[in-house]
Amino acid sequence: MHKRMVKKMNWNSIKFDWNRARAFFVAVEEGSLSAAARALNMNQSTLGRQVSALEKELSVSLFERVGRGFEITPSGLELYEHVKAMGEAANRLSLTASGRSQSIEGSVSISATNTMSAYILPSLISKLSQKEPGIQIELVSTNEVSDLRKREADIAIRNVEPTHPELFFKKLRKTNAYLYATPGYLNKIGQIRKISDLKNADFIGFTSNHKYIEGLKTIGVDLTSKNFHILSDDHIFHWEMVKHGAGIGVMLEEVATKEKSVRKVLEKLPPLKVDNWLVAHSELKKNRRIRIVFDFLVEALG
């Protein structure tokens, strides 16, 4: 039997530093050296030196200065595609390795909305910390959908159903949200006896209000952009403005019932139903530490 001949790679031809390639990749992904430095938790000048060193190693100009900023060169753009593939491979390696970990001690990051992070998770994480003191919880409070494939978080609590095949998830219980206001504000605008009375009320809204307005229509509340005089994507600010009597706003029932300064607007008004999903990357199914946190949240929120 003849030994199969395999052409070996010339390892000596690979002369660039991966850390420098990563600095270049993140700079392109983040759009600037300063943003890349923040993402990598390093000094901007250090990151700039890494990119410059990579240019020398490869004998290629990756960026050119335009005004006060930088733009990627055609050569840099071509090389970016290769570095991107390397970054994705490194991420898959990290995910696979993390998925095999059987250690309980360590960090687990959870991504959740501002509302969930501020009003619902603190008591649950406190219980989890008492039960599993070796697990360190890192909370990512954001209303954006964290990309679990890029390790922006280990676990995410979302209001939309995941569709990517690399993710596994559990559907949690639906939560109800209602409209609330202070008695003082409601007295100021007169009695709200029927849904049509809400057309003349001030509402606290979000900077992207389309889904909110469409959701209100499903329960019979027909508003326009003129009803919204205060807008913010930070639901905590939104809720504080409601509590200060600035207008009518929406909040989860389990949060609002604990607040004595507000009351529900129109008791017979149907709730806005909110779907909730607990999501993680499928590679992390066998990670003992992440599975403990995932199962705990399923039980607590499911």
> For the segment 225-236, what is each residue's pLDDT rounded down to a tens digit?
999 999 999 999
C-alpha pair distances (Å), 302 with each of 120, 172, 297: 13, 4, 7
Q: Which of 67, 99, 131 is the last residue of a domain?
A: 99
Q: What is the pTM of this model?
A: 0.67
Asked if residue 19 belongs to a domain, the reply is yes
Residue 148 belongs to what domain range?
106-166+276-301
Per-residue pLDDT tens over the stretch 64-82 = 877 777 788 888 888 888 8
Q: CATH number, domain at 269?
A: 3.40.190.10
Contact present, 272 and 251 (Cβ < 8 Å): no
CB count within 10 Å of CB 107 equals 11
> Which residue reads 């209602």 in tokens?
178
Residues 49 and 118 placed together within one structural domain of the fold: no
- Number of domains the chain is built from: 3
Q: DSSP secondary-structure letter at 193?
A: -
C-alpha pair distances (Å), 133 with each of 19, 104, 105, 221: 33, 10, 8, 47
Tell me the backbone φ, ψ of residue 171, rounded to 5 degrees. Answer: -80, 130
* Chain centroid offset of residue 37 CA: 20
Show the low-confidence residues of the chain (pLDDT under 50).
1-3, 5, 10-11, 13
Q: Which residues pair with 111 in a beta bridge?
A: 140, 156
Please state, rounded to an integer, the average pLDDT across all residues of the chain: 85
Residues 283 and 247 placed together within one structural domain of the fold: no
Q: CATH number, domain at 37?
A: 1.10.10.10
